Amino acid sequence: MDALAIATMVKDVFGGAVLAVDQPEVEPVAVIEPANVAEVARFLRETPELAFDYLMCLSGFDTMPTEEDHPARNTPEEDTGAPSTETAAPALGVAYHLFSYSHSHRFAFKAHTPRENPHIPSVAEIWPAADWHEREAFDLFGIIFDGHPDLRRILLPEDWVGHPLRKDYAAQESYRIGDACAQIARGW
Amino acid sequence: MPLKTEEMLLNVGPQHPSTHGVLRLEVTTDGELVTSAEPTIGYLHRCFEKYAETLTYQQIIPYTDRLDYLSSMNNNFGFVVAVEKLMGIHVCERAERIRVIMAELNRIASHLMFIGSFSNDLGAMTPFLWCFRDREEILKIFEEVSGARLLYNYYRIGGLAADLTPGIEEKIYSFLNQFEAHMLELDDLFTRNAIVIARLKGVGMIPREMAIAYGLSGPMLRASGVDWDCRRDEPYSIYASLRFEVPVGGEKLGALGDCYARYLVRRAEIDQSVSLVRQCLADIPPGDVKEQVKRNVRPPVGEVYVRTENPRGEIGFYLRSDGSTKPSRVKVRAPSFCNMSVFSRISKDILVADMIAILGSVDIVLGEIDR
| Inter-chain CB proximity B341 and A165 less than 8 Å | no
Fill in the DSSP letter of residue B35.
E
Residue A129, chain B, CB below 8 Å: the answer is: yes
| Inter-chain CB proximity A70 and B300 less than 8 Å | no
Q: Which residues of B touch A79 (CB under 8 A)?
A: 300-302, 323
In whole angstroms, give the CA distance from residue A9 to residue A120: 22
Look at residue B270 and tell me whether its pLDDT is greater than 90.
Answer: yes
Q: Work out whether strand B313-321 and strand A144-146 pair parallel, antiparallel, or are unpaired.
A: unpaired
pLDDT of residue B277: 92
Residue of A nearest to B56 (CA): A69
Find the CATH number of the domain harbouring A61: 3.30.460.80
- Whether the predicted interface score ipTM is above 0.90: no
In whole angstroms, give the CA distance from residue B159 to residue B284: 14
How many Cβ contacts (< 8 angstroms) between chains A and B? Answer: 116
DSSP string, B50-86: HHHTTS-HHHHHHHHHTTSTT-HHHHHHHHHHHHHHH
How many residues in total does chain A contain? 188
CB B81 within 8 Å of CB B103:
no
B4 to chain A nearest CA, in Å? 33
* Model pTM score: 0.86
B274-291 mean pLDDT:
87
| Inter-chain CB proximity A95 and B333 less than 8 Å | no
A53 to chain B nearest CA, in Å? 7
Residue A30, chain B, CB below 8 Å: the answer is: no
Residue of B nearest to A153 (CA): B42
pLDDT of residue A181: 66
Residue of B nearest to A163 (CA): B50
Sign of CA dihedral A169, A171, A173, A174: positive
For residue A179, name the pLDDT band (cuts at 50, 70, 90): low
CB A133 within 8 Å of CB A151:
no
B301 to chain A nearest CA, in Å? 6
| Inter-chain CB proximity B328 and A66 less than 8 Å | yes
In whole angstroms, give the CA distance from residue A83 to residue A76: 9
Residue of A nearest to B297 (CA): A74
A104-117 mean pLDDT:
89
For residue B297, name the pLDDT band (cuts at 50, 70, 90): confident
B41 to chain A nearest CA, in Å? 6
Nearest partner of B67 among B55, B57, B76, B59, judged by Cα = B76
Q: Which residues of B touch A131 (CB under 8 A)?
A: 341
Hey, what domains does chain B have and what are their CATH numbers?
8-370 (1.10.645.10)
For residue A180, name the pLDDT band (cuts at 50, 70, 90): low
Each residue's pLDDT tens digit, A16-73: 777 777 777 778 888 888 888 898 899 988 888 888 999 999 999 988 877 654 444 4
Q: Which residues of B touch A104 (CB under 8 A)?
A: 233
Residue A8, chain B, CB below 8 Å: the answer is: no
Residue B50, chain A, CB below 8 Å: the answer is: yes
Residue A45, chain B, CB below 8 Å: the answer is: no
Q: Which domain holds residue A170?
A: 3-186
Q: Which residues of B touch A101 (CB under 8 A)?
A: 212, 226, 228
Is A76 exposed, middle or buried (CB count within 10 Å of its CB: 0-12, 13-18, 19+)? exposed
Each residue's pLDDT tens digit, B61-119: 999 998 888 999 999 999 999 998 888 888 888 899 999 999 999 999 999 999 999 99
Tell me how many domains chain A contains.
1
Q: Which residues of A touch B319 (CB under 8 A)?
A: none
Each residue's pLDDT tens digit, A77-88: 444 444 444 546
The values of phi and psi at residue A114, to 5°, are -60, 155
CB B333 within 8 Å of CB B314:
yes
The mean of the pLDDT values for chain B is 88
Look at residue B344 and tell me whether its pLDDT is greater than 60.
Answer: yes
Residue of A nearest to B225 (CA): A101
